[in-house]
């Protein structure tokens, strides 16, 4: 998606070979016009997949996921990051370790909002090692829901997330695929 790639080049900051800051337009300050364009792109791409629900992981994916849900006319379900396991057993949970932030959390969702006939589109801002998305897929499997696709704003294609997800049979649709980065330099695939 050219609009997003151009914005990453103008306002993103490659801190080093691994860290890209997009806090001025995606995950701290949010440009709603850009997010609307992102959502329209996702909705167009996935419109024939019978999507019944959008799922995202709090909190940076909420903005694009909400607008995509609005475009497709389906509810959004926000998976929560809890510090520890909830003991009452009424929630779906799976442990996720983020290599990027070196932190571990219990990805948590209520089974009330995930049905076996749901076709779910997972939306997130970044795909790197794929730990958050594969955690979301584990929760969706516990609910016997179908993963209809994965929509990503920025993919670090030099990390193994896409490969792992594709090998597991999932479609990954990323709007900006970064081939490589270094301080002040960003190169896209294509």
Residues found near its own copies in the complex (CB under 8 A): 23-24, 27-33, 35-36, 58-59, 62-63, 66-67, 69-70, 73-78, 80, 109-110, 112-113
Nearest residue (CB) to its own copies, 2 versus 90: 90
**What CA–CA distances, in Å, run from 55 to 37, 124, 125, 153?**
19, 9, 12, 14
What phi and psi values does residue 45 have, to the nearest 5 degrees?
Answer: -65, -40
Q: With CA atoms as reference, report the closest residue to 125 among 184, 175, 189.
A: 175
Residue among 4 and 62 whose Cβ is closer to its own copies = 62
State the minimum distance, in angstroms, from the CB of residue 30 to its own copies. Answer: 4
Tokens in use for 68? 């995509």
Indicate the residue among 43 and 165 with the shorter CB distance to its own copies.
43
> 164 to each of 115, 171, 190, how far by Cα in Å?
25, 11, 21
**121 vs 172 by CB, closer to its own copies:** 121
């Amino acid at each position: 998606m050219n609009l997003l790639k151009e914005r990453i080049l103008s306002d993103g900051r490659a801190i080093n070979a691994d860290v890209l800051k997009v806090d001025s337009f995606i995950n701290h300050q949010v440009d709603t016009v850009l997010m609307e364009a992102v959502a329209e792109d996702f909705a167009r791409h996935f419109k024939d997949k019978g999507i019944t629900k959008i799922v995202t992981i709090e909190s940076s994916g909420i903005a694009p996921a909400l607008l995509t849900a609005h475009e497709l006319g389906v509810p959004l379900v926000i998976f929560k990051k809890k510090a520890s396991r909830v003991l009452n057993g009424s929630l779906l949970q799976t442990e996720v370790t983020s290599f990027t932030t070196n932190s571990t959390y219990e990805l948590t969702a209520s089974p009330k909002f995930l049905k076996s006939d749901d076709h779910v589109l997972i939306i997130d801002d970044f795909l790197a090692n794929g730990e958050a998305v594969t955690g979301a897929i584990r929760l969706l499997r516990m609910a016997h829901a179908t993963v209809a696709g994965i929509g990503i704003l920025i993919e670090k294609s030099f990390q193994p997330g896409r490969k792992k997800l594709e090998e597991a049979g999932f479609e990954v649709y990323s709007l900006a695929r970064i081939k490589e980065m270094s301080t002040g330099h960003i190169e896209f695939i294509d």
